[in-house]
Amino acid sequence: MNLAVISKGRPQNVSLYPKDVIWYVKEEEQEQYEGQGATTQPVKYDTIGELRNIVLEDHKGEWLVMMDDDLKKIDFVESKTKTSEITLPNALEFMVKSLKATKFLKFAGISPIAKIFYYNKPESFTNFIPGNISIIHPDNEIRYDENLRTKEDYDFTLQHIKKYGGALRCNRILATFQHYTNAGGFTDIRSLEIENESILYLMKKWGTAIRLNKKRAGEILMNVR
């Protein structure tokens, strides 16, 4: 199993991850990350989709875990009212085991909302899977749409539903990432203009499978039956 973390401007987070992680960083930041003890793979890219594809190609034909760089904690849902904190290796082991037990053997991830209040069932197969944690099967042929500057994970999820009939979302794994409250990362490229640009692109590509989230500007919902 290969573990890759895509990162930008957060070398201080290296200590939060296992030692065998490969950190995909911009060339100009390589020295900062290695100074924190990271094993790095410096890359050049224009969009987040392009970066994710570089990671996929580097590990083509291998089991891959691709993660964001600001993991805070992981909880495991034991029941609809109880969770317990678990380690990253144990969470990944559970997800891989679950993926191998389904007929959707190409891609697994987690819910975008790490709150037990929203927990409904252990697994789902046609719901949105964010790019926070992605487990990719060695035979997975799908790649990210490099035209998207944001929301590339919506397209990636929909591609799996179309090609493979679904993707595994492990709803019992509740992983908390800091994202918008954490300095650095890819949040500096996000703006309402860029988000709306991505939304229009996705709606043109996927039609009624994408609809606007009326409660939050610049956000969408997947509508797959």
What are the boundaries of each domain within the chain?
A: 2-222
How confident is the model over 113-163, as pLDDT tens digits? 999 999 999 999 999 999 999 999 999 999 999 999 999 999 999 999 999
Residues, the chain, total? 225
**Backbone angle region of 171, left / alpha / beta, with phi > 0 → left and psi within -120 to 50 → alpha:** alpha
For 83-101, how does the pLDDT look when each residue is reduced to its tens digit (9 = 90+)?
Answer: 999 999 999 999 999 999 9
We find that the CATH architecture of domain 2-222 is Alpha-Beta Complex (3.90)
* Per-residue buried b or exposed e for 146-166, using 16+ beta carbons within 10 Å of the residue's own CB: bebbbbbbbbbbbbbbeebeb
Residue pLDDT, tens place only, 189-205? 668 899 999 999 999 99
Count other C-beta atoms under 10 Å from residue 40's C-beta. Answer: 22
Quote the pLDDT of residue 179.
Answer: 61
Query: How would residue 217 be classed by pLDDT, with cut points 50, 70 and 90?
Result: confident
Q: Cβ(149)–Cβ(197) under 8 Å?
A: yes
What's the predicted TM-score (pTM) here? 0.93
